[in-house]
Structure formats: structure tokens, C-alpha cells
Amino acid sequence: MASRKSSNIHNCEYFSWRLYCRPSGVFYADGRGATVSMRRLSLNTKDRHSAIQRLKQLDRRMAMQHGLIPMEGMASNDGILPIDEGFRIYQEYLERPEAARGVRDSTRKRYRSVFGHFKDYCAAKNIGSWNAVNASQLHGFGKKLENSKYKPRSVYLEMTTIKQVAKYLVEQKHLPASCAFRCPLTKPEGSDKHCYSVEEVAAILELAKSLPDCQWMYRALVGLAYTGLRIQELASLRWSDFSDNLSMIHLGDQGHRSRLEADRRRTKSGRSRMLPVHADLRELLQGMPRDRSRPVFTTERGYRLNDGRLRDQFVRKIIRPLTERFPTPEGQKGFKDGRLHNFRHFFCSRMAASSKVTALVLQKWLGHTDSKMVQHYFDLQDAEAKTLMSSIELLPKPQGG
């Protein structure tokens, strides 16, 4: 261990280093006390003057590694883009007008969460600028999310978002072309969400209908089960969205109406769509009072449905009381994990299993632009699979005895 007299602090151009000499006579640089924490490194010399010169070179090399200055070989006008500044530039791009395909507020809110996660990662890894972001760093970010128990789809979304930011910054000349990188990602397929069975949905609706002061919830659950609509879409339905005979729903996206209109409907895809009304749902609608000043599906007091409150009451009054009747296998997703969105899985599963609805038609009903998303919701139940298999004749049956 070097004595106090044989070590001192050197404030170089970018970092502060403790220079000390080992008993062997070799000089070392200790950067663990710098603003950007680094390890102890050998300078491979026993000459103090030479050690100080090598320390300056090490200081510059570490500044490049941490994105504080351009890497060697960059043009002199290729500046450093701090992480915060890059996100500020990209956020301005996200806030472009809707007519220019600007994203909605909910998307910007989701992105802010991703930006926060990546900033935390960069701070922990001492990454100071976008110049130092590459495929290796993106892999490290994804691994950190996985270790924090984020689901595969969330990890994919966050890694893809950071890729988009880096690509945009290069394309718009905020970063030099040398900062562009490739990092292929595989989108997770399938779903681990529980798909309600026919028996489970029947029990849910039966219980909801029997509960005092819960007819409003019963109607909403029927609406979800028989349409496959998202809860926000169901909550926005008005009687004017239905045809005169209640046979069709026109779910219109009102994206280009004034932002000041609080009740402006937005569909997730940004596109309007038509959906036929099932006979059982039409029977329910025909028995409901048609107040054109209120949404079709409302709370007990006639207010617009709040998905958070509906979910909480659904879990407390329906899911928990029925959990013992429909046990969930240990370590798996099951009935106890069911929520409002699982009715969308149920609807898609029933439509797909009927063999009467084509994938293209179901895609239009659900409002997806990608046919692969239909497969995301498809979940053929065991009983349906057995019935389907038994109906198929693989080989002709032998004639006679």
C-alpha cells in the first residue's frame, strides 16, 4: 500500500485522479473518486514524468468512452449530445401536430416512463451522451429491465423506443452518422394473459346480475363480453353510435377534432370501424332507457364509466368471490388474474373458434392493423379443441365389417 506522501490528486482536463506508486515502483491512476466512478488502472511506467503524461492520455480516453467528447476520428463539428438534450429534441418531435402524425397524450406519457428508465440506466453506467449509446448499451438496458422483472413485451417496447430515439437523432443530424447502430430485436409472440372460458363468463354475468345495485356493472360486462371492445371504447359509446335497429355499432375516431373537447373519442389504432351487434346484446340494449345526453353504459348514477373504479369493483365483487370455484394452477395465470381486458380475449377466442368468422373480419372488428395481433388474443379452449379435432376426418372410414 502506498504511503500518503507517495500519492496525490491530479485534476486533469475531464476527471480527477489519484496518482500513486506501488511498492514495485509502477505508477497507478485511481479514478474511483471522480464524478464518473472508474477503477484503478496501471500506467505501466516507473517514471513519474511519463506517468503524468500517460495519465492525461488516460483521462481523454475515458472522456471518449463516457461520451463527454467525440471519439477519435470524428469530424471536429461532430459535437456531443447529452442524454437529456437528446430526449428534449425527441419530445419536441413527438409533440408535432396530429395532422403530421403526432402521437397522442397517452403515448407521450408512456414514452416519458421509458425515458426515465433509460436515464437511470445511463446514470448508473456513467453514460453521459447519446454518442456513447450503442447496441451493447441497449442490450445492457434490456438486461437491467429483465432483472427488474419487467415482462417481455415491456422490455421489447422500451428497447425499441430507445432505438427509435437514437435513429431519429442520427437521421436529423443531431448525431454523426458514425453513431448509428444495428440492434435486431424479436417481438414476443402470444400472450400469458388468462382467457375466460364460457363457464367462467357465464358465472361472472350471473353473479353480477344477482348483486343489488350492480345492474350497471352487469350491463357493462355484457357489453365487453359481446363486443370485444376495450373498456375506454365501451365507455365512450353513445346511442348515436348505433344504427336505428341496434344491429351495428359505428366506432368513430375523432382524432382531428379540437383538443379542447374533453369527450373526444380516440380509438387505439386511430381508425374508425364498424362492428355488428350480437342478438343477445341487442336484447339487453332494447330494454335500456335511451338517454341521448348520456353514454350507453354508465355508472349507477348515470355518469360515464371510469375504468379504474369499474376494475376495482369487478375484482372485489366478482373475481374474488368466484376464485375458489375456478381455481388457478400454481405458478400460472388463471381466473384470479382475470380483469376487464380479458373479456376481449374471450370474445376473440369465441369468434375464432366458431370457424364462421375469418381472421380478416375479426381483425376489422377488433380494430387491429396487423393480423398478427388477432393471434395474440386467440386462445382455443381444450373442450373446443377436442370438438374441432373429432369433427375432422383424416382418413376415410372402412366400408362394411
Contacts of 223 (CB under 8 A, 6+ apart): 229, 234, 237, 281, 296, 297
For the record, the C-alpha cell of 400 comes out as 362394411
Side-chain-side CA neighbours of residue 159 (13 Å):
27
For the record, the C-alpha cell of 186 comes out as 424479436
Going along the chain from its start, the domains and CATH numbers come out as 4-65 (no CATH), 83-179 (1.10.150), 198-387 (1.10.443.10)
- Give pLDDT, residue 378: 56
Q: Which long-range contacts (CB under 8 A, 24 or more apart) does 258-264 make?
A: 263/236
Q: Collect the ranges in the chain with pLDDT lower than 50.
A: 1-6, 73-78, 257-258, 260-261, 380
> How far is residue 6's CA from residue 363's CA, in Å, rounded to a whole number?
74
Place of cell 437523432: 169
- Give pLDDT, residue 268: 60
The 10s digit of each residue's pLDDT in 117-132 is 999 999 988 888 898 8
Q: Are 145 and 117 in contact (CB under 8 A)?
A: yes
* CB-CB neighbours of 393 under 10 Å: 7
The 10s digit of each residue's pLDDT in 345-363 is 899 888 877 777 777 888 8
Helix (H) or strand (E) holding 204: helix 198-210
- Give pLDDT, residue 397: 66
Give Rg (Cα) of the chain: 30
- Give pLDDT, residue 44: 85
* Whole-structure pTM value: 0.62
- Torsion over CA: 360, 364, 366, 372 (sign): positive
- Give pLDDT, residue 97: 76
- Give pLDDT, residue 126: 84
Q: Are 88 and 132 in contact (CB under 8 A)?
A: no
